[in-house]
Structure 1
Amino acid sequence: MSSIEIRPGSYLQGTVKVPSSKSIGHRALICAALSEGNSTVENINLSRDIKATTEVLESLGAKFFTSKNSIEVTGTPKLNCSGKELFCDESGSTLRFLIPIALLQDEKVTFNGRGKLVERPLTPYYKIFDNQQLYYKNNNGLLPLELCGKIKPGVFNIKGNVSSQFISGLMFALPLLDEDSTIVIDGNLESRPYVDLTIDVLKDFGVSIVNKDYKSFIIRGKQRYCAKNYSVEGDFSQAAFFIAGGLLNGSVLCTNLRMASLQGDKAIVDIGKLMGGKITVTEKGVLAEKSALKGTDIDASQVPDLVPILTVLAALSEGQTIIYNAARLRIKECDRLQAISTELNKLGADITEKEDSLIINGVKSLKGGIVSSWNDHRIVMAMTIASMRAEEPVIIEDYKAVEKSYPHFYSDFTDLGGQVKEF
């Protein structure tokens, strides 16, 4: 197990070019792979999750030619799944997006993965398989998942409080069927921005989805994906860590961001300001400077990926913060509510974990110590930023989990002035 030591009190200063959005990257690659002809996906961060998606799509018949910051894709709407085992690594997006796509052909296919992905729930898909009498077999609810059958158009009922990835997965596949389909949402749809991103990228590749006020989505059949060149915008969920670093102890300018983005995690700017943070949006990017922060209440239902770093900010703010509507964080790469509260409390934070919320009483500083990554990239990055207000070094075990989404995170961190030692 690899560990990394972060020296306390780092002052981050300078400019960081934020990597491209992993969420949008997955979507663009899938659309390109389903298009007839050649596309180029530019400004893409080749994280482990993105590589998982390209490798599965390649197994299904698309072709990928990767250079430093772009991927050329030769797509095919006629996929070949027969007898294939599709390894999704630890990427939930890869698994949940591509299951419906694999069901576009009536061929046997097996999905597998590793780590926490093996046990992440797929219940909404199992209900669809049962309703459509599609063959499937799993290992007592765990991966590997063996499938055979062709998904049929119709009405698909999905609960609004489950992962939006199930909705997006259906949106990729259903337009290619011969007849129209409808996705009906049961209850209030959480993580709406991720569905918005899917619809937006699909539109760029020539596929239309009609959004009926997030209560239902109308999907016309017999559509075709159109190959194109696509540039992936910067990732606000990754920028959030360096915005937080600037607010805690620094002056950091995050570039490669588009303020007109549909990404829900751009809410980091408004939440940071609400907490008293000095954040300035300029033509160059988002500038975050050292600030005296105050606690506030935060609804996590639309921004679950921000919770680990928002918990760090709250732990070092004056007063109390309550992060609520956060139950779905328990079924991410790890139980993120338990992980972030446990590890920050080891460093001297004052966090109480509830079933679907965190109650955080701010402290002036943290102490040092050894913490676990829980094999979760966002926990690694959050604990690294927390070390900036620690009195002693912070050692993070199994820190290479960061490669899941941001392989050069520590290179950017040290370029800004962070001091680390690997061992």
Structure 2
Amino acid sequence: MKYLKINPSSLCGKIKIPPSKSMSHRAVICAGLSEEKSVIDDIIFSQDIIATCEAMKALGISIDIVEKNLQDYKKIYIEGRKKLKLINNSIDCKESGSTLRFLIPIALLTGDKITFKGSGKLVERPLNVYYEIFDKQGIEYSNHNGNLPLEVKGSLSHGEYKVKGNISSQFISGLLFTLPLLKGDSKIIITTELESKAYIDLTLQMLKTFNIEIENNNYEEFYIKGNQKYISKDYKVEGDFSQAAFWLVGGIIGEKISCCNLEMDSLQGDKVILDIIKKMGGNIKIKEDFVEVSKSQTKGIVIDASQCPDLVPILAVLGSVSDGTTKIINAERLRIKECDRLKAITNELKILGANIEELEDGLVIQGRKTLNGGVVDSWNDHRIAMALAVASIKCTESVIIKGSNAVSKSYPQFWNDFKKLGGNIHECCVGK
């Protein structure tokens, strides 16, 4: 089996942050639901974005690549349809939770029988929110002992939807994409405190960009008028703060890194990484169009991860080499991501020599000056792989990562960028 070996070295330089995966999903979907042609600029075809594009094609949407540059950024034309037309009744969402949960209600606009497939951890990730809606509305569905593949046939009805706020916001976004196209008005009632509000903000922002209006009543109720129309739009995807977080931490524990292609007025929840680094005492300069960080000794703090769960793996790395204690709380939902991220990051950082304890809904980390090194596993999770790569900066010995290709899920160019910033990596074989 091939592994990636990283010899410890400090990262330094300037990097263009890839486009937001969250915004890319949303732009592709909204453009596909519009009636004419849209141009979406700065798309990187990670495995998740490929899954969403292929899903939209299965619903009759035309997507063409019209430009490609040396950094693998693409411009695409999307020819939307007034009425979706099922071209392929089997949609493979690969390992993308966003694709699956966004597209299920959208696909019901066709009224046809459709099968949703997936791979990896996605096969068993919960869909109970939709099952409850299907039962209530008499929509036919079947699955494999609660897992994918899911076969569904029927049409959503306008009306009142009650959804818990402490489950994935992807379910709410899926309904927000779909309900404006129904004949009557609808309302989504959030029955518990809504977590990951920023992801709902991103959905509402993209919907507004494409002419869809939603009334947000303090994240407790969403009012959706029916018979709305998506209008095509040319849109450039902004940089991804969740990906920038790896390089920002890399600069704090390395030498100096400047991150370009970031919007300082972005609604992305993971922009909070800037505030977290400040609170931990990191050297950070925020300019109009880039963020610069430089080597500094950070201190442990308490981090509430309820609104920024994707930051937990890289924040665990930063906590592992900070002074004092870092405590990450309200992170229980990480157990149903691409892997159980709390268990994964705890296990692998322990192998590297970190003093880290796994709690039911978080982590407690006692910082050390350095880590050791060793053979670790990505758990087939892109964020675990990237976090472990950054951890290598503070190791005294090499770090060997099994499953390093997991980064293709969200950031296919990660290892090229790692090398560009001075990372010393090469493939190797371990065992038979």
3-state SS, counterpart of residue 78 of structure 1: coil
Deviations 1:93-125 (A, max 9, x none): 000000000111211000001011100100100
For the pair 1:355 / 2:360, whether they are aligned, the reply is yes
Give the equivalent residue in structure 2 for 1:53. 52
For the pair 1:266 / 2:265, whether they are aligned, the reply is no
**CA shift for structure 1 position 249:** 1.0
Give the equivalent residue in structure 2 for 1:238. 243
Give the equivalent residue in structure 1 for 2:39. 40
Give the equivalent residue in structure 2 for 1:209. 214
Determine the C-alpha separation between the residues in 1 that align with 2:255 and 2:143: 49
Q: Would you say the 8 A contact 1:33–1:77 is kept in 2?
A: no
Determine the C-alpha separation between the residues in 2 that align with 1:77 and 1:136: 26
Match of 2:174 among 169, 174, 182: 169
Determine the C-alpha separation between the residues in 2 that align with 1:341 and 1:109: 39
2:20 counterpart letter in structure 1: S
Deviations 1:314-333 (A, max 9, x none): 01101001100000000000
Determine the C-alpha separation between the residues in 2 that align with 1:398 and 1:77: 42
**CA shift for structure 1 position 284:** 3.9
2:2 counterpart letter in structure 1: S
Give the equivalent residue in structure 1 for 2:301. 296
Determine the C-alpha separation between the residues in 2 that align with 1:40 and 1:253: 29
Q: Would you say the 8 A contact 2:264–2:289 is kept in 1?
A: no
2:84 counterpart letter in structure 1: L
3-state SS, counterpart of residue 314 of structure 2: helix
**CA shift for structure 1 position 412:** 0.7
**CA shift for structure 1 position 79:** 1.3
For the pair 1:148 / 2:148, whether they are aligned, the reply is no
Determine the C-alpha separation between the residues in 2 that align with 1:131 and 1:82: 28
Give the equivalent residue in structure 2 for 1:3. 3
3-state SS, counterpart of residue 109 of structure 2: coil
For the pair 1:256 / 2:255, whether they are aligned, the reply is no
Determine the C-alpha separation between the residues in 2 that align with 1:12 and 1:312: 15
Determine the C-alpha separation between the residues in 1 that align with 2:105 and 2:141: 13
For the pair 1:364 / 2:363, whether they are aligned, the reply is no
For the pair 1:195 / 2:200, whether they are aligned, the reply is yes
Determine the C-alpha separation between the residues in 1 that align with 2:91 and 2:123: 13
1:2 counterpart letter in structure 2: K
Determine the C-alpha separation between the residues in 2 that align with 1:200 and 1:355: 34
From the superposition, tell whether residues 344 and 145 of structure 1 become closer, same or farther in structure 2 (CA, over 3 Å): same
**CA shift for structure 1 position 44:** 1.3
Deviations 1:79-98 (A, max 9, x none): 12376000001000000000
3-state SS, counterpart of residue 43 of structure 1: strand
Give the equivalent residue in structure 2 for 1:26. 25
2:205 counterpart letter in structure 1: D
2:11 counterpart letter in structure 1: L
2:174 counterpart letter in structure 1: G
* Match runs of 1:52-201 below 5 Å: 52-66=51-65, 67-68=67-68, 69-81=74-86, 84-201=89-206
Q: Which segment is superposed worse, 162-171 or 77-86?
A: 77-86
Q: Percent of pairs identical after alignment?
A: 55
- Between the two proteins, the alignment pairs up a number of residues equal to 422
Q: Would you say the 8 A contact 1:82–1:107 is kept in 2?
A: no
**CA shift for structure 1 position 45:** 1.6
For the pair 1:379 / 2:403, whether they are aligned, the reply is no
Q: Would you say the 8 A contact 2:264–2:288 is kept in 1?
A: no
Deviations 1:169-226 (A, max 9, x none): 0000000000000010011100000000000000000001110000010011000000
Determine the C-alpha separation between the residues in 2 that align with 1:79 and 1:143: 23
2:5 counterpart letter in structure 1: E
For the pair 1:225 / 2:214, whether they are aligned, the reply is no
Deviations 1:289-322 (A, max 9, x none): 0001100000000000000000000011010011
Determine the C-alpha separation between the residues in 1 that align with 2:167 and 2:253: 33
Determine the C-alpha separation between the residues in 2 that align with 1:127 and 1:160: 15
2:325 counterpart letter in structure 1: Q
Q: Would you say the 8 A contact 2:280–2:300 is kept in 1?
A: yes
Q: Which runs of 4+ in 1 moved over 3 A?
A: none
From the superposition, tell whether residues 74 and 11 of structure 1 become closer, same or farther in structure 2 (CA, over 3 Å): same
Gap runs ≥5 in structure 1: none
**CA shift for structure 1 position 14:** 1.0
Scaled by the length of structure 1, the TM-score of the pair is: 0.99
Determine the C-alpha separation between the residues in 1 that align with 2:4 and 2:87: 43
Determine the C-alpha separation between the residues in 2 that align with 1:94 and 1:217: 22
Q: Would you say the 8 A contact 1:83–1:108 is kept in 2?
A: no
Scaled by the length of structure 2, the TM-score of the pair is: 0.97
3-state SS, counterpart of residue 27 of structure 2: helix
From the superposition, tell whether residues 334 and 381 of structure 1 become closer, same or farther in structure 2 (CA, over 3 Å): same
**CA shift for structure 1 position 283:** 2.8
Determine the C-alpha separation between the residues in 2 that align with 1:83 and 1:62: 11
Q: Would you say the 8 A contact 2:202–2:267 is kept in 1?
A: yes
**CA shift for structure 1 position 279:** 0.6
3-state SS, counterpart of residue 94 of structure 1: helix
Determine the C-alpha separation between the residues in 1 that align with 2:205 and 2:418: 32
Deviations 1:121-154 (A, max 9, x none): 0010000001101000000000000000001011
Determine the C-alpha separation between the residues in 1 that align with 2:389 and 2:121: 22
3-state SS, counterpart of residue 238 of structure 2: coil
1:19 counterpart letter in structure 2: P
Give the equivalent residue in structure 2 for 1:335. 340
3-state SS, counterpart of residue 103 of structure 1: helix
For the pair 1:402 / 2:372, whether they are aligned, the reply is no
Deviations 1:55-91 (A, max 9, x none): 0100110001113221110011311237600000100
